[in-house]
Amino acid sequence: MQLDDAVIAQVREIYDLLITRNNNLLISTAESCTGGMLAAYITSISGASKIFQSGFVVYSNVSKVKLLGLPQHILSIYGSVSAECAIAMAENCKIVTKSDIALSITGNADSSSIQEQKQGGLVYFGICGTNSKSYKKNFNGDRHQVRSQACQYAIELLRDYVCNIL
């Protein structure tokens, strides 16, 4: 997998913001459809251990429940491709890892593996720091393109969040 240089540059910007402002904030991730690609971007820069606590790949619903402690009723009522699931993933990731900021990604990476009768390219993001928020995006392209675009968008969300709290 080739990582996008522009996205890596944004990760460096996040790193610089956190380090130069002397904040000891730690980031963690919980990923489903991106399968660890977001964590790979964050850890691609030198010194990432100063800002990155942990990353979960919780591809199946079973792993969302077992590893993150996601309440089963969220999956039963809303499904894994939902704003509610994205928020719960981020909130539980933050609790489990004791990090300051947690970012989650869940969705359908392509139309051949559609879950819950929701369209391919539909991705939800959750971010949890002092409060929680979800975001919804529809991406076009093949599986690799959707996953890459989702990671790029997640990094942009993280950058904006960090800029707003510092």
**Strand extents, DSSP E, 15-164:** 27-31, 52-57, 101-107, 122-128, 132-138
* Residue 64: predicted pLDDT: 98
* Residue 159: predicted pLDDT: 94
Task: Quote the crossing angle between the two packed helices 83-97 and 61-68, to the nearest 10°.
Answer: 30
> Would you state the structure tokens that stand for residue 40, as one six-digit string?
């790979």
Q: What is the rounded CA–CA span in Å between residue 107 and residue 53?
A: 23
Q: What is the rounded CA–CA span in Å between residue 164 and residue 160?
A: 6
How are the residues of the chain apportioned to helix, strand and coil, as percentages rounded to the nearest 5? 50, 20, 35
Q: What percent of the chain has pLDDT over 70?
A: 95
Q: What is the pLDDT of residues 76-112, one digit of tens each?
A: 999 999 999 999 999 999 999 999 999 999 999 987 7
Task: Quote the crossing angle between the two packed helices 143-165 and 5-20, to the nearest 10°.
Answer: 20
* Residue 91: predicted pLDDT: 98
- The CATH number fitting domain 5-165, selected from 3.30.450.20, 3.90.950.20, 3.50.20.10, 3.40.30.10: 3.90.950.20
* Residue 166: predicted pLDDT: 67
The domain segmentation of the chain, as residue ranges, is: 5-165
For 153, phi and psi rounded to 5 degrees?
A: -65, -40
* Residue 113: predicted pLDDT: 63
* Residue 147: predicted pLDDT: 96
Q: What is the pLDDT of residues 2-34, one digit of tens each?
A: 778 888 889 999 999 888 876 789 999 999 999
Q: Check residues 163 and 136 and name the one with the higher pLDDT.
A: 136
pLDDT-derived band at 116 (thresholds 50, 70, 90) equals: low
